Amino acid sequence: MMQNELACDAGCKWRRLQQAMREIDAGGCLLSADVNLYYVTGRIYNGYFYLPAEGDPWFFVKRPVGLSGEHVVYIRKPEQMKEIFADRGLSMPDKLLLEADELCYNEYERLKAIFNPLCTANATTLIRTHRMIKTPWEIEQFRISARMHALTYAAIPACYRPGMTDLDFQYEIEHLMRRNGSIGIFRTFGSNMDIFQGSILTGDNAGAPSPFDFALGGAGAGVFAPLGANGTLLEDGMAVMVDMAGNYTAYITDMTRTFSIGKLPELACRAHQVSRLIQEETERIARPGISCAELYRLALAIVSQEKLEPYFMGTKQQAKFVGHGIGIQINELPVLTPRSKDILQPNMVFALEPKFVIPGVGAVGIENSFLVTETGIEKVTQAEEDIINLTS
């Protein structure tokens, strides 16, 4: 069933999940969201993964045909799981975990009716908490993505031609990403997070509010895609923020760099340096045991001292976070918000993105992806951090 290189990795994940299930007296956990199946089996299929609190997991597969292995059972519809459990002498759990934040209501109710447990609880919470701490194999995937992400960003200046709009520029970067092996698909958690391959922000469009919960907005190409580049002509004195996905493996690195058309005004340059300063100070204090709320407060204190609050994380609409966990989806745990309860732990991977919107100029600042080590944090996305002039 599994990719060979993942077999051990998956086994470790199952044991950790089972221990957590026993702690909350859950007898079983049923997963079917693509990202969760990939996490626990190393592949995406149409079907279900059932993990009992004790013993080996079961793989109930609708599609594709041709999978085989121990405990792989083909089904046409989920109701068949009931008879399969009976035939194999498997007991139905009294407390069943279902993906309450990922399954649609009807699917949840259907699965609940099949298993008919005494109670259900949220598998999404359990698995997102576990996905937060990465395994060695997952960390290696991030390193591969980070290398390709940096390689792509190094070639961004060659994508620029005078007279381009932000969209023209984005199309060239997207093309470069794909030729460098980007998988294209950009996975997000939650509804209403419509993003394509990433975001480019320049000029006044950088401050345009979007419906989505990303760090910054942008009007987008139209009302049907209200995020990012909107066709603004790249002109002298503009900052061009590039925040394109690092999805070169299933594990997405997040990295933002600021480019410019000519020289930027002093305020923009200063704000960019403050973003770098926030990163430096974060690198100085971040380590296992530090709270994510404290990292947010650190960033805000620096911003406040520099009197840059009106520009921080937007103008008209300001995001109330300065970073977020990354993984198979771009918005995993932990969250770096004022009220976050998350505490840094070894093998978490998160993106730090202190950004500023400067009216009439664009967005400035940097974003990098960090691995939490035993003693601190390690930057995995290594690339020039100064503002890069596209016209020089």
3-class DSSP assignment, residue 178 = helix
- Interaction between residue 374 and its own copies (CB under 8 A): no
Q: Is 155 exposed, middle or buried (0-12, 13-18, 19+ CB in 10 A)?
A: middle
Rule CB under 8 A: choose which of 23, 66, 69, 307 binds its own copies: 66
> Which residues contact residue 115 at a Cβ distance below 8 angstroms, ignoring those fewer than 6 apart?
28, 30, 81, 82, 92, 93, 96
Site for its own copies in 248-277 (CB under 8 A): 249-250
Mark 170-191 as b/e (b = at least 16 C-beta within 10 Å).
bbbbbebbeeeebeeebbbbee
Rule CB under 8 A: choose which of 1, 17, 18, 32 binds its own copies: 32
Site for its own copies in 68-127 (CB under 8 A): 98-109, 122
Least distance (Å) between residue 176 CB and its own copies: 9
- DSSP at 327: S
- Interaction between residue 33 and its own copies (CB under 8 A): yes
Between 18 and 141, name the residue whose CB sits nearer to its own copies: 141
Rule CB under 8 A: choose which of 58, 142, 212, 259 binds its own copies: 212
- Interaction between residue 209 and its own copies (CB under 8 A): yes
Rule CB under 8 A: choose which of 52, 57, 78, 217 binds its own copies: 217
| Pair 80, 102: CB distance under 8 Å | no
Using CB under 8 A, count the residues that bind its own copies: 64
| CA–CA separation, 143 and 149 (whole Å) | 10
Site for its own copies in 177-196 (CB under 8 A): 178-179, 181, 183-185, 187, 191-192, 194-196
Least distance (Å) between residue 124 CB and its own copies: 8
- Interaction between residue 43 and its own copies (CB under 8 A): yes
Q: Which tokens hold the place of 182? A: 């980007």
**Would you give the binding string for its own copies spanning residues 226-245, x where CB under 8 A is met?**
x-------------------
Strands in 388-389's sheet, in edge-to-edge order, are: 198-202, 239-244, 257-260, 388-389
Least distance (Å) between residue 145 CB and its own copies: 11
Rule CB under 8 A: choose which of 135, 152, 188, 210 binds its own copies: 210
Least distance (Å) between residue 56 CB and its own copies: 21
Least distance (Å) between residue 63 CB and its own copies: 5
| Pair 345, 391: CB distance under 8 Å | no
Rule CB under 8 A: choose which of 222, 266, 339, 374 binds its own copies: 222
Q: Which amino acid is at 226?
A: P
DSSP secondary structure letters along 250-288? SSPB--BEEEESSPPPHHHHHHHHHHHHHHHHHHHH--T
| Pair 270, 284: CB distance under 8 Å | no
- DSSP at 90: P
Positions touching its own copies (CB under 8 A) are 3, 32-34, 38, 42-47, 63-66, 98-109, 122, 168, 170-171, 174-175, 178-179, 181, 183-185, 187, 191-192, 194-197, 208-213, 217, 221-226, 249-250, 316-317, 328
